[in-house]
Amino acid sequence: MNIKKTLLFPLMAALLLAGCSEKREEAQKQLAMQKEENLHEVTTFAMDTVMMFHIYHEDGDAILIEVEQEIRRLEALFSITVSDSEIAQLNANAGIQAVDISPDTNGILTRGLEFASLTDEAYNMNISPIVSAWGFATDEGNRVPSLEELESVLPLTTPDGLVLEEDTAYLQEAGMSVDLGGIAKGYTADLVVDLLHEKGVTNGWVSLGGNLSMLGTKTDGSMWELAVQNPIDASDYVGMISATDQSVVTSGGYQRYFEEDGVIYHHIIDGKTGYPADSGLISVTIVSEDSTKADALSTALFVMGLEESLDLWRMEQDFEAIFVTEDGRVVATEGIADRFVFEGRDNDFVYEVVDK
């Protein structure tokens, strides 16, 4: 009798569990279907780039209108082409006077200075006079500046030139300027994700010109998957990353460049030379919960090159990276390796994982 009881109990428990798990599966399926019905997608153009939103929420349309308004608000503060933006005013008043700034402008400039210091100025938003000399600041047309011209503007690019107070900012010398192109999308993505969380959105993603931020998982509970582009061939990719609640940002010379006399000049500048960075990397992808940091670091690490980048990664705890090198290697840091599937063998890429 006792034996029967003890045998029966596990059997019943198993049946009960089976019943539970069937019900749970069914409930999960229904929830996923319900969520799928609440999918809202919008594509728009802002900050000089294509932006896409993919969120699940019954009030998705109204929420995405608020998201778009938030992006326009930030663009009106940060843009260097909108003449009354706070950053354009800061630049126009260089060497003249301090200008009033809002908390968000203070926030992004503070983080910009933080990353300039962290990367030994590989990330440097004060590099703007050189970006302009190459014609990358606006659509004014690209050109190769003379060495004399570069030498004359290089002293204007020190981050120390920016005096930042809580409510004001000042560029100390005429000709100094700030360009947030390397960080603004990441900063905006972080604020958009905060807003979506506030509105109760738990699943989805936003793509601000390729700066991807993910909320939660897919509706079936599995991770979001995204491709890391082959920088040599836009229709191809070198691998897939699985991620949840993280941001994935890629920088590469292939994203914006011009050609003159058979030489390609791209838009990420090495402040030490005044020339487009030539560090042996062709793309850098950063994975981090902090999209502002991912954006700043993807730009900076592209300038720094592989070895210096790995030194920084070993010191920091909150980001992982995937590098594509000029000599055909795809190099992943160990913290992302188990969520990265390398698929570049057919393109003759070689895959390596680096330990901390």
Name which of Mg ion, ligand AMP, none residue 179 binds, using a CB cut-off of 5 to 8 Å depending on partner kind: ligand AMP
Nearer to ligand AMP, 40 or 267 (CB): 267
Q: Is residue 210 close enough to count as binding Mg ion by CB under 5 A?
A: no
Size of the site for ligand AMP (CB under 6 A): 20
Find the part of the chain contacting ligand AMP (CB under 6 A) among 50-58, 68-76, 175-183, 192-200: 175-183
Min dist CB 225 to ligand AMP, Å, is: 23
| 146's tokens | 């003379």
Nearer to ligand AMP, 29 or 143 (CB): 143
Which residues in 34-93 contact ligand AMP (CB under 6 A)?
none
Cα angle value 288/290/294 (rounded, 5°): 60
Distance between CA atoms of residues 217 and 86, nearest Å: 36
Closest to 178 (Cα-Cα) out of 250, 85, 265 = 85
Q: Which residue shows structure tokens 């950063």?
A: 286
Q: Is residue 182 close enough to count as binding Mg ion by CB under 5 A?
A: yes
Applying CB under 6 A, which of residues 91, 219, 229, 251 lies at the interface with ligand AMP? 251
How many other C-beta atoms can be found within 10 angstroms of the C-beta atom of residue 166? 9
Phi then psi for 223, rounded to 5 degrees? -70, 155
Applying CB under 5 A, which of residues 295, 312, 332, 342 lies at the interface with Mg ion? 295
DSSP 222: P
Min dist CB 91 to ligand AMP, Å, is: 13
Nearer to ligand AMP, 169 or 268 (CB): 268
Applying CB under 6 A, which of residues 283, 298, 325, 333 lies at the interface with ligand AMP? 298
The terminus-to-terminus CA distance of the chain in angstroms comes to 59
Q: Is residue 246 close enough to count as binding ligand AMP by CB under 6 A?
A: no
Please provide the size of the chain in residues.
Answer: 356
Nearer to ligand AMP, 63 or 127 (CB): 127
Min dist CB 186 to ligand AMP, Å, is: 8
Distance between CA atoms of residues 347 and 309, nearest Å: 25
| 6's tokens | 């003890």
Applying CB under 6 A, which of residues 123, 265, 313, 323 lies at the interface with ligand AMP? 123
Q: Is residue 299 close enough to count as binding Mg ion by CB under 5 A?
A: yes
Nearer to ligand AMP, 60 or 186 (CB): 186
Distance between CA atoms of residues 252 and 299, nearest Å: 8
Nearer to Mg ion, 119 or 299 (CB): 299
Mask for 257-276, x = binds ligand AMP (CB under 6 A): ----------xxx-x-----
Cα torsion 219, 224, 225, 231: sign: positive
Which residues in 132-161 contact ligand AMP (CB under 6 A)?
136
| 132's tokens | 């302009």
Distance between CA atoms of residues 351 and 53, nearest Å: 32
User: Which residues, other chains included, contact 234 with Cβ-Cβ below 8 Å and sequence gap of 6+?
Assistant: 254
> Which stretch of DSSP H or E encloses residue 170?
strand 168-171
Q: Is 38 exposed, middle or buried (0-12, 13-18, 19+ CB in 10 A)?
A: middle
Min dist CB 294 to Mg ion, Å, is: 8
Min dist CB 303 to ligand AMP, Å, is: 5
Binding interface with ligand AMP (CB under 6 A) = 123-125, 127, 131, 136, 179, 181-182, 251, 255-256, 267-269, 271, 295, 298-299, 303
Q: Which residue ranges make up the site for Mg ion (CB under 5 A)?
A: 182, 295, 298-299
